[in-house]
Amino acid sequence: MKFEKKICCLICFGVLVFSYLEAQTFQFRNYDSNMGLPQNFVYALEQGHDGFLWIGTGEGLVKYDGLRFRSFTTADSLAGDFVMSLKVARDGKLWVGHNNGDVSVFHNNRFTPIVLEETTSPVRDITEDRDGHIWVVVQNSGFARIDRYNNVTTWFDTGNLGFTLFYSIHPLGNNQVLLGTSEGLMKLTLSGDGKIESLERYSEIPMTTITSITPRKGIQDQFWITTEDEGFYSFALKEGQASHIIDNSLCLTFNLEWENIQAIEEEEEGHLLLATWGNGVIKLFFDPVSQEFTESFTFSTVNGMNNNFIRDILADYEGNYWFATYGGGVASLVDESMVFYDLDEIGFQNNKVISVFQQNNELWIGMENGLIIADPFCFTDFEFYDDELGIPRDNVTAFYRDDEGTMWVATGGSGLYYRRDGEFQFSRYHFTRSRMGNMINDITGSNGVLHLATIGGYYQLDIESGSSQHLTTENGLPHNNVNFVFLDRDGFLWMGLRNSGVSRIVNNSIEIHRITDTPLDVFDMTQDHDGNIWLATQGRGVLQYSEDSLRFIDMTSGLARNFCYNVVIDTSNRLWVTHFPGLSSIDLNSGEIRRFDYEQNLGADFYHAMVDENQTIWFGSTQGAINYFPDKDVINKMPPMLNFTSVRVSGREFGTVRELNLPYAYGDRYRFRFDFIGISFKDPLGVRYQYRLLRRGESSTPEWVDLGNTSFREYEYLPDGSYTLQIRAFNADGVYNEEPLTIQIVIASPFWKKGWFYLVLISVLSYVVYLIIVFRERKLRKQKEALQREVDSQTVILRLQKAEIERKNRDITDSINYAKRIQSSILPPPEVIENQFRESFIFFAPRDIVSGDFYWFHPLNGKFLICAADCTGHGVPGAFMSMIGTTLLNDIVKRKEIKSPADILSRLDIEIKILLQKNDKDNTRDGMDISIVEVDPKNGTIRLASAKRPVYIFINGELNIYKGIRRSIGDLMMEDDSEFVDIEYQTKEGDTFYMFSDGFTDQFGGPKGKKYMTSRAKDLLVEIEDKPMREQLDIIRNEFFNWKGDEEQVDDVVFVGVRL
């Protein structure tokens, strides 16, 4: 009676489980109308040669690059909004079949509609023959062929086919096609005038709707034939034989023999993906040895998809799956390395997976109140074991299967249980009466001997003889609480003791390895491919241990947590570490550490990890069980597919051209913007870009410049010449395209650089010179005598004037030199800033003896103020303004109401206006342009305010530019009357900022005598920012004087740089 009760309980549970046939979950990405699709009814998918994904919906065609959706309709010259079928031809053209019977072709970024006369029914299939002709199947009418010149030949007069409907086609050559119809599969021989010469039916395939005809990969003249209600067939054309795939022994939740299959996709390994109407996507796994499909799996709403009605399947160039659903948008699967087994989905809400074990296609899941046995591949036919079947309602902490096939189950408080191979019920194995001894943490074994880690010590059980050995602190163990037991490759037994490191049993004696001087709690142990020992510790991360060396890896090294519970090694020599919560993976070959947390849906607490017989890893967590496949967790070796999405010159759109030929811009300069996209669907946000601009004639090749994830490049100005802009993209794993994306830019030279212009100019100048010489010779003869007389009379006068001028010049020069000493005494000595910021410099170069530019430093309330200013004018007038500014600043900072750089500038503006009595709107613009930076060393911040002068700030190596407001200090004729504002940045040690006057950027010089310009100053700072400040000062000083050359200095220069 008791056994019958147990059987009834199991049967009732089987009924409960049957409603949850699969609970595996994949990390699908579902795209629907909420994310950018025009609607959720998707009929076709294709990937272009440029990597873009094309999505056919009932309300238009969609182009997707991984980040953005772009929709096309009849407004973009499509032949119809309803898209039924898609095909990318070998020449890169996209062919679009519409529900109204018409066709569109996309080429050179433009749609061209092609109208098929005498039909309005859907275009169900599009394919291409070996000659590049496009074949189109129209459901109610027949089929058509479109040649390379868009000439259409139709076979709409189907003769004896009567009311047959047409769904799929495959051209065979020699005027023959395979045709999928509502009455089965046919081979037609065609004439060139739209007639059918002969027809052959294949009786081995039933007279049902043939939804698709797909050539088998690597096998010539063999096809996969899918049907609407009788599954699918393997068809050999030459033999005319078909094989029905009906193996219902596979793990299927439906009958494959009668399945409605809309499309099929064959992988390189021979696995098949079947798009079904109502049951999601079936994946059949092909065994190359037996040449049969041996396993199956279903992707559906049960494990992450949002719809089970599938119209099309696409495997993109990276190996990602894309599923077109009828009502659920598009589903994408880019990562199959982890399969999630959610216990909530099968009726075990709020149950934790304490332990997990997989062997011989049996998945054992230990929970808090029993265990589950299931098929790991299908997760069906569950058996739940609790006290009715011999397993207590207790934590199942560990599993072990011995050489005889007996399954041993350890519990957290109820002892040890076993079930022999072929038996149904578990039995209790009595080895101790100790309550602590029955609280088992771990179990392992070999050669008929079990090893138990318990709270009450270590137990060794000889199953054959029934004898046991018990070790505790009385026998030499440092602690009775044993966390784990582990048999190394040499057969030695290791155990982890509470707060006592590890111990090893050698020749029946106990070796104690405390590892550190402080208590160390080790929870697990494993060995890598080289035999090194790795320990999972509580609070110290993971530890590589040998008797003569220790190597800790913790959060400072990149580990997710310092508290570790289990460690296992996968086939790629990656060490996996479980945490509360999350996982860490350490590549022991490269040292790379990956963290898995909430962002990867792995934010659960992980209790257990084990490597099964197939070398996959199983994790037990609060979210259920997770199966990790190391062979699927590989680097994405496919670089992003790079494309220009827009090329604009001075606002004019040039599309996606690869060459720009531009005349010289005699008016405004050309402004360039190049937009591009690197398509990598595995991780679109992880794509990074680099660029470089090559100029013809330059001997050196520039370095690649990082753009991060910025997908455009702008140029405000390019001088005339020939350029090549190169772009390359890196995927999330660092793989980049060896052949960069390029565009040629040719800007014609101005007419004055043309050869003919020089010839004309030389001729004109020669003739003018000749005329001038003749005229001057005549005039000079007349003037010579008069000049000689005048020279004689003026010589005496000039000598007197020269003496007077020299005297006055000495007086003025002496006065100015004295003014310079006064100005130098007012300016703060550079030692003030050097004492505060050892890494800093000041480059101060007056145009004349005294300067209208000045710098100023001052401490204020534990902070430090740094200023660079450019006063109106230069020389003596400018010097007066600089001394006024310095004096006012020293006075302003002493006022209590001054709290920030903006306050200082506001007060300085008022004081300048009062001082210079600027009450009249017509007054000239006397004043200054100034930037002030306040450095707060305590909080690691800087605040700045600026009047028409930029401040360049490098934070974490990234340049930030604050240009200031557009008005000067003391200027009533201002363009901008806005208030001065404080801008605050969070900084860290090593960040730098720079301030300089316009005398640096306005200096004429260089090979063409042009201004230095702000853009060149910015590029200079980007180049030298990481160098020592002393070296930067030398570079800036040399750059200025080398650029100036023999040119006159146009203005005063002050340049301040500070590294925090």
pLDDT in tens, 904-927: 999 998 888 888 765 455 555 678
Give tens-digit pLDDT for 561-580: 999 999 999 999 999 999 99
pLDDT of residue 785: 77
Instruction: State the CATH class of domain 827-1059.
Output: alpha beta
At 9, the pLDDT band (50, 70, 90 cuts) reads very low
At 380, the pLDDT band (50, 70, 90 cuts) reads low
State the angle between helix axes of 901-915 and 875-892 in degrees (0 to 180), rounded to the nearest 10: 130
Give tens-digit pLDDT for 802-815: 777 777 777 677 67
DSSP letter, residue 750: P
At 404, the pLDDT band (50, 70, 90 cuts) reads very high
pLDDT of residue 931: 95
Least confident of 262-276, 441-455, 792-806: 792-806
pLDDT of residue 918: 53
Averaged pLDDT for residues 869-877 = 82
pLDDT of residue 572: 92
Residue written as tokens 């034939």? 225
**Structure tokens of 366?**
């230990």
pLDDT of residue 438: 96
DSSP 593-626: EEEE-GGGT--S-EEEEEE-TTS-EEEEETTEEE
Is the pLDDT confidence value at 600 over 80?
no
- 3-class DSSP state of 578: strand
pLDDT of residue 252: 52
pLDDT of residue 381: 63
Residues near 443 by beta carbon (within 8 Å), at least 6 away in sequence: 398, 399, 400, 408, 410, 416, 450, 451, 452, 453, 485
Strands (E) across 99-157 are located at 103-107, 110-114, 123-128, 134-138, 142-146, 152-155
Give tens-digit pLDDT for 824-842: 777 888 787 888 888 999 9
Residue 347 sits at φ, ψ, to 5 deg, of: 100, 5
At 159, the pLDDT band (50, 70, 90 cuts) reads low
pLDDT of residue 850: 82
Domain boundaries, the chain: 1-27+335-430, 40-333, 641-752, 754-815, 827-1059
Averaged pLDDT for residues 775-781 = 85
Is the pLDDT confidence value at 215 over 90?
yes
Q: Which CA distances in Å does 272 have to 264, 267, 277, 303, 339?
A: 7, 6, 16, 19, 19
pLDDT of residue 544: 94
- What is the biggest distance separating any 2 CA atoms in the chain, rounded to whole angstroms? 149
pLDDT of residue 1: 36
Is the pLDDT confidence value at 12 over 50?
no
What rounded mean pLDDT belongs to the chain?
88
Residues near 635 by beta carbon (within 8 Å), at least 6 away in sequence: 733, 735
Give tens-digit pLDDT for 532-572: 999 999 999 999 998 788 999 999 999 999 999 999 999 99
Asked: is 641-752 a CATH 2.60.40.10 domain? The reply is: yes
Alpha helices in 283-324 (DSSP H): none
Amino acid letter, 848: D
Is the pLDDT confidence value at 7 over 80?
no
Is the pLDDT confidence value at 470 over 60?
yes
pLDDT of residue 3: 37
Fold of 40-333: Methylamine Dehydrogenase; Chain H (2.130.10)
The rounded distance, in Å, linking the Cα atoms of 112 and 80 is: 11
Give tens-digit pLDDT for 973-1003: 665 677 889 999 999 999 999 999 999 999 9
Q: Which CA distances in Å does 285 have to 69, 212, 293, 800?
A: 33, 20, 5, 111
Facing residues of 135 across strands? 127, 145
Residue written as tokens 């720079």? 994
pLDDT of residue 467: 92
In terms of Cα–Cα distance, which of 103, 181, 104 is closest to 141? 181
pLDDT of residue 21: 37
Give tens-digit pLDDT for 610-629: 999 889 999 999 988 999 99
CA 130 to chain centre: 39
pLDDT of residue 943: 93
pLDDT of residue 6: 38
CB 213 within 8 A of CB 170: yes
